A and B are shown apart, each in its own frame.
Chain A
Amino acid sequence: MDQLKEELKKHIIEQLNLEDLQVSDIDDNSLLFSADGVGLDSIDALELIVLMEKFYGIQVTNPEEGKEAFLTINTMADYIVKKTK
Chain B
Amino acid sequence: MSFITAYCHIGEDICTVNGAVFLQKKQDVTDSWFKQLYKELAIEYPKFYKMDMLAQAGFIGSELIKKVSPDLSTRYQDDEIALLFANQQSSADADIRFQDSYLEKKSPSPSLFVYTLPNIVLGEIAIRNKWFGENMFAVFPKFAPEFIIQYGSILLKTGSKAVLAGWLGVLDGKVEVSLFLIGEKGDDGIPFNKENLIKCADLRDQA
One of B15-23, B46-54, B147-155 at the interface: B46-54
- Cβ of A81 under 8 Å from chain B: no
A-B pair count, CB < 8 Å, reads 46
Interface residues of B in 109-150 (CB under 8 A from A): 109-112, 114
Q: Are A17 and B32 interface neighbours, CB within 8 A?
A: no
- Cβ of B77 under 8 Å from chain A: no
- Cβ of B31 under 8 Å from chain A: yes
Q: Are A20 and B47 interface neighbours, CB within 8 A?
A: no
Secondary structure of the B side of the interface? helix
Complex CA–CA separation, A41 to B114 (angstroms)? 12
Q: Are A16 and B46 interface neighbours, CB within 8 A?
A: no
Interface residues of A in 48-83 (CB under 8 A from B): 50
Q: Are B31 and A17 interface neighbours, CB within 8 A?
A: no
Complex CA–CA separation, A16 to B46 (angstroms)? 13
Size of the B side of the interface (Cβ < 8 Å), in residues, is 20
Q: Are A47 and B32 interface neighbours, CB within 8 A?
A: no
Complex CA–CA separation, A20 to B37 (angstroms)? 12
Instruction: Report chain B residues within 8 Å CB of A50.
Output: 107
Of the residues A15, A20, A44, contact of B31 by C-beta under 8 Å: A20
Most buried by A among B35, B45, B46, B111: B46
Who on chain A is nearest to B113 by CB? Answer: A43
Instruction: Report chain B residues within 8 Å CB of A16.
Output: 50, 111
Q: Are B109 and A47 interface neighbours, CB within 8 A?
A: yes
**With contact pairs A39-B49, A40-B50 given, residues A20 and B32 touching in the complex (Cβ less than 8 Å):** yes
Instruction: Report chain B residues within 8 Å CB of A19.
Output: 32
Interface residues of B in 1-54 (CB under 8 A from A): 30-32, 34-35, 38, 44-50
- Cβ of A4 under 8 Å from chain B: no
Interface residues of B in 62-78 (CB under 8 A from A): none
Who on chain A is nearest to B110 by CB? Answer: A43
Complex CA–CA separation, A22 to B35 (angstroms)? 11
Of the residues B49, B109, B110, B114, contact of A20 by C-beta under 8 Å: B49
List residues of chain B with CB under 8 Å of any chain A CB: 30-32, 34-35, 38, 44-50, 97, 107, 109-112, 114
Interface pairs A-B: 8 shortest CB-CB: A39-B46, A39-B47, A20-B35, A43-B110, A21-B49, A18-B49, A20-B49, A16-B111
